Structure 1
Amino acid sequence: MPLTVKAMMEAANAVVERIDAQRAKDLIEQGALLLDIRDAPELERTGRAAGSHHISRGMLEFRADPDIPSHDPELQLDRPIVLHCASGGRAALAGKLLKDMGYEQVYNLGGFSDWVNGGGAVADQK
């Protein structure tokens, strides 16, 4: 049976904890990385969470692997990572990917609107 998006989402949601904006803020205060995985045009349209780091979902594997030259030093296997995208789906899938790659503490904030509606500060807003 072929792998479906539904099955991938179920697997991701089973291993990546979904958190609210307040929990995300608490984790960030303790040193977690807030990682925005939306594509660049999405950030240009809406702005970004203040203090967030950006790596598009399409480049995540290449930036997350510490053994290749394109590794992003903000990504550390033992540093908590709070992911968000536009609605939470890509963040869930990306979270499972990071866990599969050995990242220990990965959380899904959901979408950018979850951050904004939870009182999160926004930068570069148009």
Structure 2
Amino acid sequence: MFAFNQRTMTPSGMTAADAVARTAAGDTVLVDVRDPSELASGGKAKGAINIPSATLMMRADPRSPECVPELKDGKPIAVYCASGARSAMAKQMLERMGHAEVHNIGGLGHWRRAGGEVE
């Protein structure tokens, strides 16, 4: 289970470097839970789909007709936000929806430091 080290606020579990490699290989679905205004000002991780945390219940639940197709095939999911706090909540929500493998990789900065591209 993912947890933050409370002293450093760095993610544990699947690392951002793991997510960069696994997303590039097509083995993991990368989800950005930030708001559209945040994407407009700072971009998003290459290959990420944007599902703002406010719409996660509707767009990520496999039982919902609004669920994005990428989340219906059972692939592992890596989520991130700006700092890792919203993605921690998103991880819990996705697990409650029945997604078997969900990882919080922290924030977009973690992705960048791991060598991930931003578009």
Q: Under TM normalisation by the shorter chain, which class is it?
A: 0.7 to 0.9
Q: Say yes or no: does 1:13 pair with 2:3.
A: yes
Shift of the alpha carbon at 1:77?
A: 5.9
Tell me by how many angstroms 1:70 deviates.
Answer: 1.2
- Structure 1 distance, partners of 2:13, 2:87, is 10
| 1:25 and 2:15 aligned | no
46, 60, 65: which one aligns with 2:42: 46
Question: 5+ residue gaps in structure 1?
Answer: 1-10
Deviation per residue, 1:25-81 (Å, 9 max, x gap): 232225211110000000000011111111100000101222222111111262100
In the comparison of the two structures, how many residue pairs are matched? 112
1:109 paired to 2:105? yes
% same residue: 37
Contact 1:17 1:106 in 2 (8 A): no
Kept in 1: contact 2:20–2:114 (CA 8 A) = no
- Residue 115 of structure 2 corresponds to which residue in structure 1? 119
Tell me the residue number matched to 1:71.
Answer: 67
Partner residue of 2:78?
Answer: 82
Query: C-alpha offsets along residues 95-122 of structure 1, whole Å, 9 cap, x if unaligned?
Result: 0111111100100110001111111101
* Structure 2: gaps (5+ residues): 5-10
Distance 2:109 2:22 in 1: 18
Decide whether the 8 Å contact of 2:61 with 2:94 is kept in 1: no
Larger Rg, first or second structure (1 or 2): 1
Higher helix share: 1
RMSD: 2.1
Distance in 1 of aligned mates of 2:21 and 2:98: 23
- Asked whether 1:97 is paired with 2:68, we answer no
